[in-house]
Amino acid sequence: MTAAYLVYDVFTETRFGGNQLAVFPDAAGLPDEKLQSIAREFNFSETTFVYPPQNPAHTARVRIFTPTSEVPFAGHPTIGTAIALHDLGRGGEMVLELGVGPIPCTVGPKGASFTTPVPLQIVAHPPADLVAATLGLTVADLRLDRHAPVQASLGLAFVFVELADRAALARARPQIDAIRTAAAAYPAGLDFAVFCYCRDGETVGARMFAPLDNVLEDPATGSASATLGAFLASLPGGPRRLAIAQGDDMGRPSRIAVSVGPSGVTVAGQAVKVMAGTLYL
């Protein structure tokens, strides 16, 4: 058995930047029990498998796998898969069926965007000292006047913490023992995936660590960016647009645009095809 796949770099206009994504545009013949192994073989933060839609009015059904588990929603796989399908002739307007429900996507010369209507869910408020410890930082490195650390979700939970400055963001290093302790105390979504950031108005520098899910650091995390946008917009005077730079500290610069409107949170970005190949089973 063989299956064709594509590899895209997502949230970048430059090859070898952004976040890598493997896409299987016709996964209908792949055995379900092999999907996790395939995702682990690529070892990207996510791999997507595309199937015919359950609703014939939609474009496709998409399953998303990290190296360790299937997830209902993720941002860079949605953007990358939409652009891959567009490149294969699927048109510029599409609806992708994800684990959180149907997500409308638009693809054009400037990249792709999707809007998620899933409401913001506040899962928990992990203590600042615990969150700081997971990053190898101290509480003094956190900025707590605008919000305390929060675990929140638009379909996939992350822990969000604002840091004092860009220098603190650069110093962050995931601490496995502390993350194991935190994941046991706050089980939701991924295993205590931490999205740390610094912000100046609408400009955000960010990093995301999920080492217990085999993602030591993620170059671009669209689902977390969407959730951060929804969360900040819910705060008094919070911004409704964000320009997020992620991946710079690991040499894979990524740029993610987020806006919050009456129909939900919109995430936009570019992607470029890097590879194409054949899987043998």
Short-list 244, 198, 274, CA closest to 75: 244
Q: Which listed residue (33, 41, 46, 97) is catalytic?
A: 46
pLDDT digits (tens, 9 = 90+) for 3-16: 999 999 999 999 99
pLDDT digits (tens, 9 = 90+) for 40-55: 999 999 999 999 999 9
Q: Crossing angle for the helix pair 75-87 and 222-234, nearest 10 degrees?
A: 120
Q: For residue 153, is pLDDT > 90? A: yes
Q: For residue 188, is pLDDT > 90? A: no
pLDDT for 189: 78
Domain segments of the chain: what residues?
2-112+269-280, 121-262
Q: What is the mean pLDDT of residues 24-33?
A: 97
pTM for the model stands at: 0.94
- Structure token digits, residue 251: 């040499």
From the options 3.40.50.2000, 3.40.50.300, 3.10.310.10, 3.30.70.920, give the CATH code of 2-112+269-280: 3.10.310.10
pLDDT digits (tens, 9 = 90+) for 199-245: 999 999 999 999 999 899 999 999 999 999 999 999 999 999 999 99
33 in catalytic set: no
Short-list 41, 84, 39, 47, CA closest to 64: 47
Domains 2-112+269-280 and 121-262 share a fold: yes
Short-list 96, 170, 99, CA closest to 137: 170
CATH class of the domain comprising 121-262? alpha beta
pLDDT for 193: 97
Q: What is the mean pLDDT of residues 85-109?
A: 96
